[in-house]
Amino acid sequence: MIKIGLDAGHGLRTAGKQTPTGIKEWTLNDIVRDKVVYYLKGYDVSFVFTDNDEGNTDESLGSRVKKYIDVGVDVFVSIHHNALSGKWNQATGVEVFVDRNCTAEDMKLAEAIYKNLPAYTGLKGRGIKKENWYVINQNKIPAVLCEGGFMDSSIDYPVITSEKGQDGYARAIAQGLIEYLGLKKTTETNTQVPSSNAQVPSVNYLVKINTKELNVRAGAGTNYDVTTRVKQNEVYTIVEEKMNGTTKWGKLKSGSGWISLAYTVKINNTIESEYYPIPNYSGTSIVEALKTIGINSSKENRRKIAVKNGVYNYTGTAVQNNRLLSKLKAGKMKKI
């Protein structure tokens, strides 16, 4: 099975990495990363995610590189969105980076992805560029860093925050990987486009490791290969459960594998307990989005929600409402 390393760049708390409306870059990167996984369903591949499951920690560049090298991925793609000044501007376009001392395979991977980016996103192509970005500067494994449009661009913003634009970015990466790796479908999959409004798995909760060190395995059982290890007191998200004999195993959201839940403690019943559920809504009205999940959408209640979620001095402006809607659709809107 081919292993693909995917990296949603940065973290939710990384300073400056956000749109002028307050949407964090990691949120956009994470949505695209999950869609790449969707578009590669039915292929004989597995995934290793190098960023933090919840985006709460901006994993160091060194730890990201170490992780994907240690598990022996076949290719690595770091997913990003660009920025110029942090204020609204007219910058625009998509691009792919390789290392300044790139290998021939780095360039082949970059070309396979880049040729699809402008076509699928509808954004200007800025080319394949060379930079010594640490996360791709290792020359052992084919690696690229993609920029899917400018977060502070009045041209790109409507695209990168839309379902269509996010799907296009993800499809470009997935198609490039299919071509570069020569992937063939092994099973038929649902052709319905995945929605970033419906990405919450049926199993989704946090666990803390309560043993000194715990093996992560490629499957749900000790007969599977060890892919990596997790350490005591680290927190992870479980997105699937399986029984193997009398032992319950949990699949990590990171994609690195499965752990025995006998050596963990569940932190809470579900991740969503702290956040409002993601609405089944693709429109642009925060009022209607709140109504779909049964939440009081009056201006007074929206003001309370805004304060809880760091949107202060709420008066119901379009920018404020869009910021709230983006949080809600990303599953990051805290309950009052």
pTM: 0.62
Q: Within a domain: residue 335?
A: no
Q: Are residues 268 and 280 in the same domain?
A: no
- Is there a contact between 230 and 259 (Cβ–Cβ < 8 Å)? yes
Q: Are residues 258 and 306 in the same domain?
A: no
Q: Are residues 35 and 146 in the same domain?
A: yes
Residue 284 lies in domain: 275-329
Q: Are residues 231 and 102 in the same domain?
A: no
Q: Are residues 60 and 119 in the same domain?
A: yes
Query: How many domains does the chain fold into?
Result: 3
Per-residue pLDDT of 130-154, as tens digits, reads 999 999 999 999 999 999 999 999 9
Assign 236 to helix, strand or coil: strand
Closest by CA position to 256, among listed 107, 48, 53, 30: 48
Give the domain CATH number at 121: 3.40.630.40
Q: Are residues 16 and 165 in the same domain?
A: yes
Assign 60 to helix, strand or coil: coil
Q: Within a domain: residue 188?
A: no
Considering 256, 272, 288, which residue would you say is the last residue of a domain?
A: 272
- Is there a contact between 231 and 213 (Cβ–Cβ < 8 Å)? yes
Which segments in the chain show pLDDT lower than 50? 189-202, 269-273
pLDDT at 196: 45
pLDDT at 193: 46
Long-range contacts of 254-257 (CB under 8 A, 24+ apart): 254/48, 254/49, 254/53, 255/6, 255/37, 255/46, 255/47, 255/48, 255/49, 256/48, 256/49, 256/67, 256/71, 256/216, 256/227, 256/228, 257/216, 257/217, 257/218, 257/219, 257/224, 257/227, 257/228
Q: Are residues 136 and 79 in the same domain?
A: yes
Per-residue pLDDT of 297-333, as tens digits, reads 999 999 999 988 888 888 899 889 988 998 888 777 8
Instruction: Give DSSP secondary structure letters for 143-184.
Output: EEEEEEEETTBTTTHHHHTSHHHHHHHHHHHHHHHHHHHT--
- Is there a contact between 14 and 26 (Cβ–Cβ < 8 Å)? yes
pLDDT at 268: 52
Closest by CA position to 331, among listed 201, 243, 211: 201
